[in-house]
Amino acid sequence: MVEMAEYDRERELAERLNDFLVSCLGVPEADYYSGMDFNSFMKLKSVLSNINNIITMKVTCSFVEWLAVQMNWNDEVTELAVNSIISTKPNANGYDVEIEIGGRSIIAEVKCNRPINGGYAYGAAQRHGIEKDVKSLVEGKSKSKMVPSDCLKFMVFIDLPEVRKATQMCLDTRIDHGNSICFYRDGIVTDDKSKVYVVFVDKVTNALT
């Protein structure tokens, strides 16, 4: 009888960590896992806890650059808009984007979700988060000074095929204020403050390099 290879959890985790460090950081191949003690892992965990904030910031800046093209902003106005994003603390209680510039007030929520389990549909918690953000864009947030009825409103997603499909499925189903949803297409005049424009940012890869 041939014995099945025994699963080694630590070996798998070590290989995944080492492979990540080598492929993403370009460091020489080595067993970095074995060279780390518990305190090192705790420090690494602390750093990685900010990954979501980093990704959101990068996608948000890409959205603002996209917005600058749509609004015909000059370089100075675009720089002011980007700086307003960079100078906002993560996990603030307002919107991901709150801009009053160029004679317009703009609010946006940025979602960096990818469908769970590598599929084409969001999980229940992801759908709930999207629905909550749509509602806040229409009804407002108590801790934000922005008045939605005076603002252009956007929901921003990463432009990936699975994200597009999952988002379409999610927003096509019954949600509060679903009649306010408008998927952005080239040529749409984005001056309707009654709409929440859904935008897929297609330069995220460049923004993350």
User: Which of 132, 129, 148, 149 is CA-nearest to residue 140?
Assistant: 148
Q: Which pLDDT does position 167 carry in this prediction?
A: 93
- pLDDT in the model for residue 207: 43
- pTM exceeding the 0.75 threshold for the entire prediction: yes
> In this structure, is residue 89 part of a structural domain?
yes
Q: Are residues 192 and 90 in the same domain?
A: yes
Write the Ramachandran bin of 124: left for phi over 0, alpha for psi from -120 to 50, otherwise beta: alpha
What is the rounded distance in angstroms from the CA atom of residue 114 to the CA atom of residue 54?
16
Residue whose structure tokens are 């370009």 = 26
* Any domain includes 1: no
pLDDT score at 7: 82
Which helix (DSSP H) or strand (DSSP E) does residue 97 occupy? strand 97-101
| Domain-located, residue 66 | yes
Its domain, for residue 35, covers 9-48
Residue 3 within a domain: no
Least confidently predicted of 1-10, 36-45, 107-116, 169-178 = 1-10
Distances (CA, A) of 74 to 50, 78, 99, 138: 32, 6, 15, 29
pLDDT of residue 189: 61
Per-residue model confidence (pLDDT) at position 203: 62
Tens of pLDDT along 20-33? 999 999 999 999 99
Pairwise pLDDT comparison (106 vs 47), residue with the higher score: 106
Please tell me what DSSP assigns to residue 159: -
Q: Are residues 97 and 16 in the same domain?
A: no
Which residues are paired to 110 by β-bridges? 156
Q: Is 187 helix (H, G, I), strand (E, B) or coil?
A: coil
Could you tell me which residue, 204 or 200, shows the higher pLDDT?
Answer: 200
Per-residue pLDDT, averaged over 3-24, amounts to 87
132 and 64 in a single domain? The answer is yes
Q: Assess contact for 163 and 113: CB atoms under 8 A.
A: yes
2: in domain: no
Reply yes or no on whether the pLDDT at 204 is more than 70: no
- In this prediction, residue 63 has a pLDDT band, given cuts at 50, 70 and 90, of very high
24, two tokens: 């993403």
At 64 the pLDDT is 92
**Rounded distance between C-alpha atoms, residue 100 and residue 97, angstroms:** 10
Q: Are residues 137 and 92 in the same domain?
A: yes
- Verify that 66 and 111 share a domain, yes or no: yes
Model confidence at 205: pLDDT above 50: no
